[in-house]
Amino acid sequence: MKVSSSVSNAGLLPGTPPKGCPLKLPPLSVVQSVSWERLEPLLENGFTIATSVAGRPGRTLVPPDVATCDACLAQLRDPADRRYRHPFITCTNCGPRYTIITGLPYDRPSTTMASFPLCVACAAEYDDPADRRFHAQPVACHDCGPTLALVEPGAEPLQRGAALARARELLAGGRIVAVKGIGGYHLACDATNPVAVQRLRERKQRGDKPFAVLLPDLDAAHAVVELDPAAAAVLASPARPIVLAPRSAAGSPVVEAVAPRSGQLGVMLPPSALHHLLFEPEPRPEPGSGPQCPLLTALVLTSGNLAGEPIATDDADALTRLAPNGQRAGDSPSRQRASSRTPFS
Ligand SMILES: [Zn+2]
Ligand SMILES: [Zn+2]
């Protein structure tokens, strides 16, 4: 028997409980309304998430993509963690949602992760109500998830850490790399290298329109643009927007060609673990054991398409459109992407 109507709580910030609610909510949860009705008890124990029934009437919201959370970042950087440097690390508090959904309700079979069966360790986390990855649909690890690959014209494809190291090397060398992240391909190049930026501008047929710049963290952003606390908070928010801000008066390593004749610069922080790893080379086993790849400090990141065309999300399409064989010798872009099995677009 229904005993009351609903109370609207629209407009509450994520993670904020409605007034009077004693519960601590997950960081990404948004309470849009509260309603209650009296039901006959089922006399069952425990807590379960029932299997979704396809085709039922009702409205289900498509959740947005969310940048890597602090807990996942800590694991990404912890050599003792089994997801150390896993480019697709996610949990219930972060990761892709909107761009991997193929149908509703939002369950793993209705995502591009459907073709990646969970390993035993991931399945245990997925099924444990006390775990941060309980029912996290994109959950994966080095053993069961998609693998990173780098495809470079005329060379054998590289996998995993080798792919990432080579991508960083190419970027540091002034090359353009197509990165398949959340939502499709982006073209990236070193934002401190005027030749690389100009080459990307020509490749994109972009005229002198400004590019946005990806920076590793807030400290790096403060060094490049003037950010007040509100702008910094927006920049670091889980939606990872591009924030337009005045260029730093002290000057920055980001070259003028990124946004010609503009006193402002569009900046963003890494939207995924893969983007974090582009700035974080794998530590050498011992100090001085082999040459260290130069550090990348700022990358131009622009949609993987030519002017007026849609962004490339399909691997074969990206190879055709973003790495055309007809380019000048020595000017062929290499491509970094999660393998054709990637779920993240
Ligand atoms: Zn997370
Ligand atoms: Zn796994």
Question: What's the CA-to-centroid distance between 89 and ligand 1, angstroms?
Answer: 7
pLDDT at 303: 83
For residue 138, what pLDDT band results from cuts at 50, 70 and 90? confident
The neighbouring-strand residues paired with 16 are: none
Average of per-residue pLDDT across 155-174: 91
Question: What's the CA-to-centroid distance between 132 and ligand 1, angstroms?
Answer: 8
pLDDT at 168: 92
Give the closest ligand to the alpha carbon of residue 83: 2
Give the closest ligand to the alpha carbon of residue 116: 2
The CB density around residue 294, as the number of other CB atoms within 10 Å, is 13
Question: What's the CA-to-centroid distance between 1 and ligand 1, angstroms?
Answer: 39
Task: Give tens-digit pLDDT for 247-261.
Answer: 998 878 899 999 999
Task: Give tens-digit pLDDT for 304-345.
Answer: 776 566 666 666 666 665 554 322 223 333 333 333 334 444
Question: What's the CA-to-centroid distance between 226 and ligand 1, angstroms?
Answer: 29
Give the closest ligand to the alpha carbon of residue 123: 2
Task: Give tens-digit pLDDT for 186-229.
Answer: 899 999 999 999 999 988 877 889 999 999 999 999 999 999 99
Question: What's the CA-to-centroid distance between 128 and ligand 2, angstroms?
Answer: 14
**Rounded Cα–Cα distance for residues 136 and 118 (Å):** 11
| DSSP state string for 25-69 | PPTT----EE-----------S---PPP-TT-SS--PPPPPBPPP
pLDDT for residue 275 is more than 90: yes
Lowest mean pLDDT among 13-17, 183-187, 324-328: 324-328
8 Å CB contact between 129 and 47: yes
Give the closest ligand to the alpha carbon of residue 26: 1
pLDDT at 50: 72
Q: Between 283 and 339, whose confidence is greater? A: 283
Neighbours of ion ligand 2 (CB under 5 A): 119, 122, 141, 143-144
Question: What's the CA-to-centroid distance between 203 and ligand 2, angstroms?
Answer: 38
Question: What's the CA-to-centroid distance between 249 and ligand 1, angstroms?
Answer: 35
Give the closest ligand to the alpha carbon of residue 90: 1
8 Å CB contact between 63 and 90: no
Q: Which of 308, 327, 330, 307 is closest to 319 using CA atoms?
A: 327
Question: What's the CA-to-centroid distance between 141 and ligand 2, angstroms?
Answer: 4
pLDDT at 82: 96
**Virtual CA dihedral for 202, 152, 98, 140, nearest 10 degrees?**
-160
**Domains parsed from the chain with CATH numbers:** 1-44 (no CATH), 62-145 (3.90.870.30), 148-284+292-338 (3.90.870.10)
Q: Which of 216, 223, 227 is closest to 253 using CA atoms?
A: 223
- How many Å is the Cα radius of gyration of the chain? 22
pLDDT at 136: 85
| Residue 6: Cβ-neighbour burial (10 angstroms; 0-12, 13-18, 19+) | exposed
Question: What's the CA-to-centroid distance between 147 and ligand 2, angstroms?
Answer: 12
pLDDT for residue 101 is more than 70: yes
Question: What's the CA-to-centroid distance between 117 and ligand 1, angstroms?
Answer: 20
Q: Is-above-0.85 flag for pTM?
A: no
Give the closest ligand to the alpha carbon of residue 119: 2
Give the closest ligand to the alpha carbon of residue 96: 1
Question: What's the CA-to-centroid distance between 72 and ligand 2, angstroms?
Answer: 15
